[in-house]
Structure 1
């Protein structure tokens, strides 16, 4: 009976796959039939659609259609067709793991779409470039492109595409272990998917959220998210593999929650399901069962399931899958803080990576080992592994970084992707026709005396012309590239001069503060003190002064005391009196208290400023303390003026080789892609650059603002 059910299920599944493939084939066949009858833009649209439908094919059919669409689009000067064709070619190159060529295509799309103000194309290319930079682990660039894409897709109400980009941002932050941000973007993805009513996408969003909650060790929320995914898959007959794997995740959450019986039962349910339907990650299931039995102290069962998991992968003879298994095993033991077992599995994975010459996960493996060594207190060894991981990431990025956005696969002459000068192409075609006419005339005149000779000679001349044209074209591209480099250098020089001017202004402000404070203290203060002495000399004759004059005298004497006190306070504040006497932290505490009080008086609501610091028992160098104080003061002033925030968190951490500062508020945020008038941010940037530091502003409308600053010591 079981065999009949299994056979029937398999037949139905195969039929469904065949129906989907048949529908796709029918659509492709229909487009291929109408293609010969089409001309101009309609033909270009069909060619690009065919390229999209056939992009997953192993042969170059999709490339052929995209290249023809590109050629026709250039002839018609149909810029959207050019953009779509480049995008198809880039997507195919990305699927073929030819990332350098893919990056070149996507840069080309971005430049063209910005020239034509084609917003959908700009967003599409930005998302694709974000994917390229994510692979290179260039977090900053990937984030910039993803955020640009997300903003444009939301503006255009393209919620399906916006959902995909939000998911990409969530994965980006998850890989960086910034779980707060990952949660934020996965929540956005879920809301966008709810707007378009895509149940399968909603399910994927819940699984993503479950992964983040797991990383945050909020296993109850992770379990809740995974169970929602399970309910969705239970309703879908064609999601057997996904259902099996989500059952394994649910069992693992029970394990993390120490609900051992529930975990074991769920693992056995998953095992029965996988054996019944012949699908799912059986190796992961066996391994997780081994981990559970190890926790329960059952050594025989532990060994049994570990060996079954390992044998299963060895039997498949897939060393790449086996190295990933060892890497995942290392991750699991690291989560359990069993560092000895974790290191053993990581080293097994590294050994296999060297055998199969696969470095795709090596950087992450080294980074994981570095964290373990740091947890074990082996700081020097941790630094060695951390540096190795950084070198691998840099090597991967350099390959993509060298892809010039103005040079598209020049080694492949058939693509001719770098030629966008349409007038020149027209001239070249005309010249070729004239040359062919001349050659044909010569052949006609001399046919009897050397037909074969002239044919060979004509071919040789044609080859020489093509080489000369290619050389000329290359020279023009080099000249254009040099001009662009000069423009970039000029912009950098202007920026440097501007930063120098701001630095000079800041230094001038500090000097002016000191000068005014000194003048107040030495000049006006001394004069007021002298007046005070003269007043005191009058006290001996107070009895001879009438009562009203005595009242006026006392009042004037009181005002004089207050003036002296005010001069001292102003001079001390001008040179940051608390800062000079007691150091950075007491000065910031005083600033925090002052700003909270001032804000509550000027506004209908209060603002709460939280200051946390670490390893700042000893004072920093005096100039650095003043600069850090001014930076935080300027940031807080900006928040008070513009952010409409009710909560501000200031974190200052003294590191081994520097100081890390994070200022975060829950205000209305702002668009960091737009230039903002005012000297505040430029002053902060100048102070940071002047100390050889760097800073990052992470904000968006309605999402608050986080400013991160690193200053070397």
Structure 2
């Protein structure tokens, strides 16, 4: 459809050209004048950058970008934008740097300029790391991996290795240090100052995160020396503050205060530079100039059309009628194709939705199968361990106890010491512990007593002198039959919740409530313990196991807790009544 519109537009232009209507309406700089202006701006910018006048280079760089945009030279314009982003980064204007880099990223992606695209994404990744936006950093790093940066050129490969060591958690600390050392060696051999700065700062951050403030301080000092030579004002300020923190951790407060004063001085310098009224005005003009020029061009075209319309003759009027007829025909054709395309798009979207739904159902099915396999495997392993404990270790302890009782009976006249009594008690305690562990691993009470009585038996083993457990059951007077697998999962869920409350909550009272309502089972476990902060709480295997079992049973779980106000867990599990197979 776009090709058809372009064809119609060209046809109209051709008709106007034959009638003598289309003429050029504005003057531009000659090619020689443009090249001279471009060379002058390039020389000025290079001179300012070589002398580290970064803020003074912004205005001529903006003018150069405008010149390239007027000449429709996208490559040079976006190379200028990349340079402008680097200057903004040096001056600490991260948001402006990101805005310009995003222009570059889109342009290089659309025009398939892969190497510049990778460099831009690496720069965006680094700036987002600096502003502590790790999610966006990893996103841009992932975008570069699609372009295979490790095969493009050595500079891109080493940049990517450095950022990967910084952001990927899969590598060990020693592997990261080794990788960064290799990148640092490459940057020194090839005189890549910016890469050396990045390497030293990343090393400092890694050492600082591992609480090695001494090594972190040494890396930051090397980085600071390079940044002072390059006049990277914002990084000089940041590094002074980081060194201040490292020295504070080493209790070198006098030296730390010196670096804090340097940090304040650098920040003041940056503030003065960023409040430059001429610079702010030039940036605003650059943003608005393109819009103003487009409005002027539209107004000129409008006046030109009005002038030509007044001078038109009857022939031209007839030609316009012809053009109108062509436009009407084109409109009708386009409208027809639009309707067809709309219908096709609707069908395509419906098919996509159906495919997405099928794919989601397949994912859910695979996930449930994996959960079922994992949980069944856990239960089988628990059953095996329980059997081994009961048959081997339990039998061995029973034999030891029998022989011990025989010995004490044979030597009944011997003096019974407290140590002998203690040994007897320890053997009894070991037998009871093995029996309890075996019952926890394979709750045989489920098959013998049923769900509620098995849970009651399990809760009795959890109860302590300073901790009371209340068990309430509702709706089990005429219970529907629950299959054995579901009963085991429900038993494990309650067991894990009570175990967490008993061990970690310091509760005096724990309430366990089971309610069988229609075709669903509600489980409530509450305690009056210390509670916890849900946002900062560490997730252990116990919580994961509970959620996995609830998800497998297609249930829902919600937790309500506050510090020093106890914890309440509410679970709803749908149940499907199962008919017993007919007896032969």
TM range (shorter): 0.3 to 0.5
**When the two structures are superposed, what TM-score results if normalisation uses the length of structure 2?**
0.36
> Higher relative contact order by CA 8 Å / sep ≥ 6: 1 or 2?
2
**TM, length-normalised to structure 1:** 0.30
